[in-house]
């Protein structure tokens, strides 16, 4: 009975906070720098509509809710490639090492390639501008994390990262005096430290989980004298395998339903829903749905877990396809190795 009371109290707190967040209908579009930090990582989370903050499991959770890797029992490596829209490519990797009762340490990295871009500058011609040389912006993020179990039902995770963005050389001209012939060349790069913090609470009712995550918390930095915050985001959510409510808990089938509410710094509130069917911890089918996105809603995917024949090593392969409106479909591939 006490456990039921705990579930009700925690759920009510989350819903009260979520309701207050949902009530803020401000237009916050295009208010952040380093927007690439919002590109999702991992085929499994993307297939489930980004509703992944309470799922828990593999080391890929380090990019979502760092408390979610608490169940990693052996060293685990994760790699991911995503061909994002507008010829943007992102590669990511993470590694987790359990330290017994102390907790789990982790390391993560991601690199974003924006391809080759055409440079332009102001000019005193009929068009008012002219082409310059081509350039290739680049961005990366490196992180170290720690996850610990406080009780048999409650865990937390913390990741401290360094993010860097380099947009190349920019030619600044004195517009007021019309001095376009002798612009001043400046490097436009920015680096800063940011923090992700998450909690995960197993309620004790079946495997119902509640969670909260704060992502990309940092100081405000920018280019020149203008401060540009990065895309900080607050998430609340829950996840649960719903089959034990209807079938024997020993069944080989598993259906996980997930939900979360996102409160981003640079957009109005969003809801995410995810569904995963898994058979015998071997093959999984997934789908998801998002609200309040301009070009995204439904997503799909599948996964396969297989032993490789030596020791306890397992390989997990995941794929996701995300229809992206006027853009091409986004294809995502992930690989995780559990040693």
Query: Per-residue pLDDT averaged across 27-52, rounded?
Result: 85
- pLDDT by residue (tens digit) across 284-299? 999 999 999 888 899 9
DSSP string, 60-117: GGGGT-GGGGGG--S-EEEEEEEE-STT-EEEEEEEEEE-TTS-EEEEEEEEEE---E
> 283-290 and 270-279: which strand pairing?
antiparallel
Torsion of Cα atoms, 266 then 271 then 276 then 281, to 10°: 60
- Are 311 and 330 a contacting pair, CB within 8 Å? no
- Assess whether pLDDT exceeds 60 at residue 7: no
Among 134, 136, 159, smallest CA distance to 146 is for: 159
Mean pLDDT (the chain) is 84
Identify which of 10-14, 173-177, 327-331 has the greatest average pLDDT: 327-331
* pLDDT of amino acid 19: 45
- Assess whether pLDDT exceeds 80 at residue 204: yes
* pLDDT of amino acid 25: 46
18 SS3 class: helix
- pLDDT by residue (tens digit) across 303-323? 998 765 556 788 999 999 999
Query: Per-residue pLDDT averaged across 16-29, rounded?
Result: 48
Among 209, 211, 198, 6, smallest CA distance to 106 is for: 198
Distance CA 180, CA 20 (A): 50
User: What CATH number should be reported for the domain holding residue 31?
Assistant: 2.40.160.40
Domain count, the chain: 1
Beta bridge partners of 233: 215, 264
- Which residues span the domain enclosing 243? 2-338
- Are 192 and 60 a contacting pair, CB within 8 Å? no
Q: Is the pTM of this model over 0.95?
A: no
């Amino acid at each position: 009975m006490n456990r039921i009371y705990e579930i009700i109290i925690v759920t009510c707190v989350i819903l009260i906070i979520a309701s207050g967040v949902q009530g803020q209908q401000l237009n916050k579009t295009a208010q952040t720098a380093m927007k690439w930090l919002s590109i999702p990582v991992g085929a499994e989370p993307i297939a489930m509509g980004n509703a992944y903050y309470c799922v828990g499991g593999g080391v890929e959770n380090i990019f979502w809710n760092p408390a979610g890797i608490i169940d990693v029992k052996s060293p685990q490596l994760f790699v991911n490639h995503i061909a994002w829209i507008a010829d943007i490519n992102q590669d990511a990797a993470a590694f987790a090492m359990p330290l017994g009762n102390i907790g789990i340490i982790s390391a993560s990295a991601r690199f974003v390639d924006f391809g080759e871009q055409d440079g332009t500058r102001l000019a005193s011609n009929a068009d008012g501008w002219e082409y310059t040389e081509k350039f290739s912006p680049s961005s990366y993020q490196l992180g170290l994390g720690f996850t610990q179990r406080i009780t048999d039902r409650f865990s937390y995770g913390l990741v401290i990262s360094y993010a860097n963005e380099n947009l190349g050389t920019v030619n600044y001209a004195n517009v007021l005096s019309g001095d376009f012939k002798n612009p001043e060349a400046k490097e436009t790069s920015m680096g800063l430290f940011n923090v992700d913090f998450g909690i995960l609470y197993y309620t004790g009712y079946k495997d119902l989980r509640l969670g909260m995550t704060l992502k990309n918390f940092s100081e405000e930095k920018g280019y020149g004298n203008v401060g540009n915050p990065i895309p900080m985001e607050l998430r609340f959510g829950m996840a649960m395998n719903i089959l034990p409510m209807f079938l024997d808990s020993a069944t080989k089938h598993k259906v996980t339903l997930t939900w979360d509410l996102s409160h981003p710094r640079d957009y109005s509130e969003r809801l995410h829903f995810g569904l995963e069917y898994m058979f015998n911890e071997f093959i999984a089918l997934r789908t998801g749905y998002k609200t309040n996105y301009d070009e995204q809603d439904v997503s799909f995917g599948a996964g396969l877990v297989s032993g490789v024949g030596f020791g306890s090593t397992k390989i997990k392969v995941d794929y996701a396809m995300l229809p992206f409106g006027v853009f091409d479909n986004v294809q995502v591939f992930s690989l995780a190795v559990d040693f």
